[in-house]
A and B are shown apart, each in its own frame.
Chain A
Amino acid sequence: MPSWPALASQAFNGLALGSLLALVSSGLTIILGTLGVLNFAHGALFAVGAYAAFVMLQYTQSFLLAIAVGCGFMLVLGFLLERLIIRFFYGRPHEDQILVTYGIGIVLVECVRAVFGGNAQRVPTPSWGQGATQLGFLIYPTYRLQLIAIIATLLVGLYLVLYRTSMGLVVRAGIENPGMVGILGINLRRTFLLVFAIGVVAVGLAGMLYAPVVAVTPDMGANFMAQSFVVIVLGGLGSFPGAVVGGLIAGEIVSLTSAFNSSYSEVMLYALMALLLVLRPQGLFGSEGRV
């Protein structure tokens, strides 16, 4: 049995990982819910985001500026991908959508590898995130606390966009019933473009914010993508609240399990998913038979 401070520390790690997974998964889930496309390039886009932060930081020396420019870059990338490739796949079988996004993922990762090489890059922690913070009974890295706060703000922002704007209303209606939205005379073309780009920016942001915590490599996104699949299966396909709650649950499971036996941390996550598939296949917030 691990000590309480160790457990608390792991719980914070779980929160940091969980909020990150929530951000990655909400990008994945709004694309899936609205466009019906499971984006297999999501992991690659995560890595692209991290590299964008890496490059911009070298030019601007300011973490915030790097992130702002990086977001612009991800937005443009999202627009390009949707216009050039994804939009031709809305009417095709799910398998084709998965295959083409998987192909995009390979190309993105290999482009990154061709430019930056396969070796790990370091992104320094921003100046305002150095050191550790005293939290009563434990000391915790400052940047990770800030990470939790930043992502929470971003998720609230995404929530406001989805639930308090007319565009968000269209997106949520599109998740419920894309056919009906079209019948009502709303131009889904622009909405789809925007949703895809928002999803790309969300995952890119996650990559940028996480870059200072881990080694940045071209393949860093693959495991995050697999985990975010688990998250959206947990939360229910296409459900934004499901992605957030599922992300936090997944993060805590991985972190708390590793407090007891680190070799089971990832296994536990997938075991939970298997259990949920048997007991509640539509996920926590999903409705049966949506996808």
Chain B
Amino acid sequence: MSIARSGGLRSHTPELAILLTLIAAPVVLPHLGFSIDLLTRVLNWGLIGLGFDILFGLAGLLSFGQAAFYGAGGFVTAYLLVSGTLTSVWLALAAGTISAGAFGLIVGWLAVRRIGIYFTMITLAFGQMAYFIENSPLSHYTGGENGIPGVPVPMLGFGEHAIRVGAGLPMYVLFAVIFFGGYVLARRIVCSPVGAILLAIKENTARVAMLGHNVPAYKLTAFVIAALYAGLAGGLLGSFQSYMPPDAFALETSGQLVVQTIVGGANTLIGPLVGAAVWLWLRDNLQLIPGLSTLWKLVLGIAFIVLVVALRRGICGEIIHWWTERRTLSARQAAEAVTETIEAGRGAMEASSRKQRDTTLPLPSPATADSDIALEACALARHYGGLKAVDGVSFKVRAGTIHAVIGPNGAGKSTLFKMLLDEVSPTSGHVLLFGSQVTGHGVSRTAQFGIAKSNQLNQLFPNLSVRKNLRIAALARCRGPLRIDLLRTADSLVEVEAQIDAIMALLNLARRADTPAHILAYGEKRRLEIGMALATSPKVLLLDEPLAGMSPSERAATCALIRDIARTCTIVIVEHDLDAIFGLAERITVLYEGRLLADGTADEIRSNQQVQDAYLGGLHAHEPA
């Protein structure tokens, strides 16, 4: 039923490849113009790059301030050693790394509140701030523009038998070991639930929050991880060149890291390392060529622009893409063929045949009697300036029922819906879920309370497979808003996988488990949209126009699906298809121009003269709105 989970030797191929490369590099590469010291430097950049790639490549957060943490780690380490506070280089490295992480926590706390351009500018500005702090107010400790000379190298062992890790090959081995450890850890992080959620954040931040994950906290986690890696690399830099230079803090350093990551390939972990190799090799070797000595960076700059314009994946990214493309091409073509069949209408039949199967969902059954109120809107109002989109609407949704909200366009249905899960905060009034207040907690807390919504417009993670889409949702229920479980694999939670399998069976998507969401047929995407809301095991499920854009047979199948779901959770539905609504809903709330017009059973609403006048404008109820 489910695909092979991680494990076995094959899944460790990247680690083995890295290990072999690290061993072979000092033997092979010196013939190609890489000195041992150059390789050590490349590893140092690669080490910051591991953290940066988790921040930028995985989570999509472009920071131009990594120099702040590189420098902080470096100068704390160097100061502790040179001032004699600590004698063990290892302890000093640990202290430096932790300081960089703590600094990252503060800067990140401010930066992750903002997105896109703002995030980049804030990180850049804090990077500059760190540079000036090092340069002036703290120059007594950091040496200002002179930096800190005389940083000792680490020792292995104790007392008489301690071995000095000298320059050259020993230093390379030390850096290689640390880089390898860092790489293994980074790959664990990428494969962990946290890594999966960070990737989803890059794909569609709003949906991750709506599923119940604490998005800012996860971003902050990535930020601190990146700062820790940068701090460790900074500490090692001082030890490597027995001198801690102030340009570690320079904007140039952050920029170089970004360029190297793009050149090597973001979201590959080793991309920054490869980019650094290219950068440093060009610098060292082009400088030797007369006439080109000053042009190496110009060449790099042009190459960088070309990469950003045309080959967005970078060197490693293109290779990995080519490789996976070759392996998965047939699978993708098959998936696209299925999509075409479904789109052509022939798939509709098997979609409706799905209904025969009776799947039980591992959802918490509503532990409440029929008469209980699941969701209550109390005088909800939302005003936009003078416009009263929703004006004092109250209604109650009984547990275990299907409750419809209808009204002509502009009646305030969507705004009301958004207020029900606190996506939009009401101007006044509040929402109660089983008697406890929901309003004011924000959309992701609300999701954790047990309100899920499937959107009118699909909010999927387009590049993730169906299984991974559902996994992001199911992880929210089982792990809560935030858990930093960096070392477990994302697919190792048995109850989550069982939940995903059950939902894929219910939605007839099991065959498409490994198909990226963007390849799915429209009807399948709609089902996945509902499935993601369902995978969070909600107490109340909000469906915003679930039938929009569907063919008649797909509508019938989806209505059957909604009835299935209603056996295990309360449903509130907004829909323009009144036929479907009168067939599905037990109670109906009618909105008109932001106010509550009527609220009652389907039969009451059907025969309500006011509703017919205001909403249907004298037309019969079967006219689609």
Contacts and interface: CB of A to CB of B under 8 A. Distances in A.
Nearest to B297: A110
A204 B504 CA distance: 59
Contacts of B259: 102-103, 106
B312 interface: yes
A263 B297 contact: no
Contacts of B137: 263-264, 267
Contact of B262 (A99, A111, A266, A273): A99
A162 interface: no
A106 B300 contact: yes
B110 interface: yes
B435 interface: no
Residue of B62, B121, B301 contacting most chain A CB atoms (<10 Å): B121
A274 B302 CA distance: 34
A283 to B, nearest CB: 10
Contacts of B295: 110, 114
A110 B299 CA distance: 9
Contact of A266 (B124, B132, B308): B132
B113 A270 contact: no
Interface residues of B, number: 42
A106 B110 CA distance: 28
Nearest to B114: A281
A230 B305 CA distance: 26
Contacts of A96: 308, 312
Contacts of A237: 117-118
Interface string B103-135: 000000010011011101110111011001101
Given A98-B117, A113-B294, A267-B129, A107 B305 contact: yes
Interface string B17-43: 000000000000000000000000000
A27 to B, nearest CB: 15
A267 B125 CA distance: 10
A87 to B, nearest CB: 12
A85 interface: yes
A267 B132 contact: yes
Interface in B144-195: none
Interface string B320-353: 0000000000000000000000000000000000
B309 to A, nearest CB: 7
A213 B297 CA distance: 28
A114 B120 contact: no
A271 interface: yes
A66 interface: no
B139 interface: yes
Given A95-B60, A266-B132, A277-B110, A110 B117 contact: no
B136 interface: yes
B120 A98 contact: yes
A38 B305 contact: no
A106 B64 CA distance: 15
Interface string A258-286: 00001110110011011001100100000
B125 A278 contact: no
Nearest to B118: A291
A106 B133 contact: no
Given A106-B304, A226-B124, A99 B258 contact: yes
A205 interface: no
A94 interface: yes
A45 interface: no
Interface in A73-104: 85, 88, 94-96, 98-100, 102-104
Nearest to A32: B117
Residue of A38, A110, A222, A278 contacting most chain B CB atoms (<10 Å): A110
Interface string B77-117: 00000000000000000000000000000000010011011
Contacts of A111: 298
Interface in B545-568: none
A258 to B, nearest CB: 10
A106 to B, nearest CB: 4
B600 interface: no
Nearest to B252: A222
Contacts of A226: 124-125, 128, 251
A106 B300 CA distance: 9
A222 B136 contact: no
A233 B121 contact: yes
Residue of A94, A117, A278 contacting most chain B CB atoms (<10 Å): A94
Interface string A113-144: 11001100000000000000000000000000
Contact of A271 (B120, B129, B302): B129
Interface string A30-56: 001000001000000000000000000
B255 interface: yes
Main SS at interface, chain B = helix
Residue of A96, A99, A223 contacting most chain B CB atoms (<10 Å): A99
A107 B301 contact: yes
Contacts of A118: 294
Contacts of A270: 125-126, 128-129, 132
Contacts of A196: none
A118 B293 CA distance: 12
A229 interface: yes
A94 B120 CA distance: 10
B116 to A, nearest CB: 4
A229 B122 CA distance: 8
B367 to A, nearest CB: 40
Given A267-B133, A271-B129, A106 B117 contact: no
A106 B302 CA distance: 8
Contacts of A229: 121, 124-125
Residue of A88, A117, A233 contacting most chain B CB atoms (<10 Å): A233
Contact of A100 (B118, B120, B305): B305
Interface string A214-231: 000000001100100110
Contact of A110 (B110, B116, B128, B298): B298
B258 A274 contact: no
Nearest to B60: A95
A110 B294 CA distance: 8
Contacts of A230: 125
Contacts of B117: 32, 38, 94, 98, 237, 291
Interface in B582-600: none
B121 A114 contact: no
A42 to B, nearest CB: 12
Interface in A175-191: none
A102 B118 CA distance: 16
A222 B308 contact: no
B308 A277 contact: no
Contacts of A281: 113-114
A267 B136 contact: yes
A223 B62 CA distance: 19
Contact of B298 (A95, A114, A263, A274): A114
A151 B59 CA distance: 42
Nearest to A99: B308
Given A107-B298, A226-B124, A100 B113 contact: no
Q: Which 5 pairs across A and B sit closest by C-beta, in order of nearness?
A: A263-B136, A270-B129, A106-B301, A110-B298, A103-B305
Given A38-B117, A110-B298, A270-B126, 6 more contacts: A94-B117, A96-B312, A106-B304, A113-B297, A233-B122, A266-B129
Interface of A: 32, 38, 85, 88, 94-96, 98-100, 102-104, 106-107, 110-111, 113-114, 117-118, 222-223, 226, 229-230, 232-233, 237, 262-264, 266-267, 270-271, 273-274, 277-278, 281, 291
7 contacts: A99-B304, A106-B259, A113-B298, A229-B125, A232-B121, A266-B129, A270-B132
